[in-house]
Amino acid sequence: MTTLQNAVAKRDDSPRGMIAAYQSDFQTVLPSHVKPETFVRLAQGALKKGRKDRSGRTDLEIAASNNPSVFMAALLDAARLGLEPGTEQFYLTPRKVKGQLEILGVVGYQGIIELMYRAGAISSVVAEVVYTNDSFRYQPGRDEIPNHEIDWDADDRGTLRLVYAYARMKDGSFSKVVVMNKADIDRIKKSSQGSSGEYSPWTQHEAAMWLKSAVRQLSKWVPTSAEYVREQLRAVRDVKSEGAVRDWIRDERMNGYGADERGISDILDGEIVTPDAIDGVQLATDQQITALVAAIEADGVTDPAAQLKWVADTVKQLDLEKLEDLTNDQAQWLLDGFAGGAA
């Protein structure tokens, strides 16, 4: 029986005890710069934050006790990315599922920025919300970066109006500037499950969620860890052989610098991917995708959105947009699992 199974089986264990028992498993997925002891202390400390019931337990402690496996899965996501649980890098949020609290892990805007910094391509990131009483001016094509003036003596800055984000690259240049208005944010919020709930980050940390929305859009224009290494490798190969990159990367994926990059959440173990690892990346074949869909449908899941969510949860890929974005290895691992279950 694995450590996780042992922790879940002992329902009378406290959430703090479950975290401690699972330390060795966190260590296997944590990036090398994060000590497992530090991660465990942060996770245990996060449980003490928030309001308490009459027994003195916080909502997070109650949620963790209600569904330990979901709680541990959230912590594993944080560990894999090397982010600090219970902070603005990685929120631990209670949510109601079938009348009882469970824990939802959510990557925060500071977590996305942290992963950008690890890539080594940027020197700084600016992300700010703009209130109705602030002065803001930015015209693409004319202004390099926004001009945002705040009256720090004002009693009230007003209500949230805009949010923007951009990065300064190591070579001194600026990235694309992302600017989003309230309508943009409302569309994102509407698409987020449970966004109007009492415990949702959208309710408790509205400004931070505006910032996350802008930073997440910025991540599409700023290299992630694996993307940055891939770009450097591409430059080397261009010198060695004209057209080598066209043979290496599928034409339809050129804008993404390769087959296995879909944004910040795909950084392997929260660390920079080496060129040796990049060489072996291949997308799932059409045959694999067809077989995978058939296997999932045979298991009773016929809705495409539900299929995508199941796959994303299973492979721990937080922002999988479509099944075709799976790697060859991921798809084969899933198919092998179905084959093993049928045997």
Mean pLDDT for 174-180 is 95
206 with 115, same domain: the answer is: yes
For residue 232, pLDDT over 90 is answered with: no
Together in a domain, 307 and 230: no
Task: Give the residue from 105, 121, 148 where a domain finishes.
Answer: 105
Confidence of residue 41 (pLDDT cuts 50, 70, 90): very high
Among 136-145, 239-248, 267-276, top mean pLDDT goes to 136-145
The reply to whether 251 and 306 lie within a common domain is no
- pLDDT value, residue 54: 74
How many structural domains does the chain have? 4
- My answer on whether 124 and 53 are in the same domain is no
- Residue 128 shares a structural domain with residue 98: no
Q: Are strands 178-181 and 160-169 parallel, antiparallel or unpaired?
A: antiparallel
Confirm if 281 and 257 have CB atoms less than 8 A apart.
no
Give the residue from 46, 75, 105 where a domain finishes.
105
Q: Are residues 266 and 313 in the same domain?
A: no
* 91 in the same domain as 15: yes
CA 55 to chain centre: 34
Q: Given pLDDT bands bounded at 50, 70 and 90, which one contains residue 61?
A: very high
Full domain range(s) for residue 305: 286-342
Q: Are residues 213 and 241 in the same domain?
A: no
Q: Do 84 and 12 share a domain, yes or no? A: yes
Q: Is the pLDDT of residue 282 over 80?
A: no
Do 114 and 212 belong to one domain?
Answer: yes
pLDDT at residue 265 above 80?
no
Could you tell me if 141 and 230 lie in one domain?
no
- From 56, 80, 105, the end of a domain falls on 105
Question: Are residues 30 and 94 part of one domain?
Answer: yes
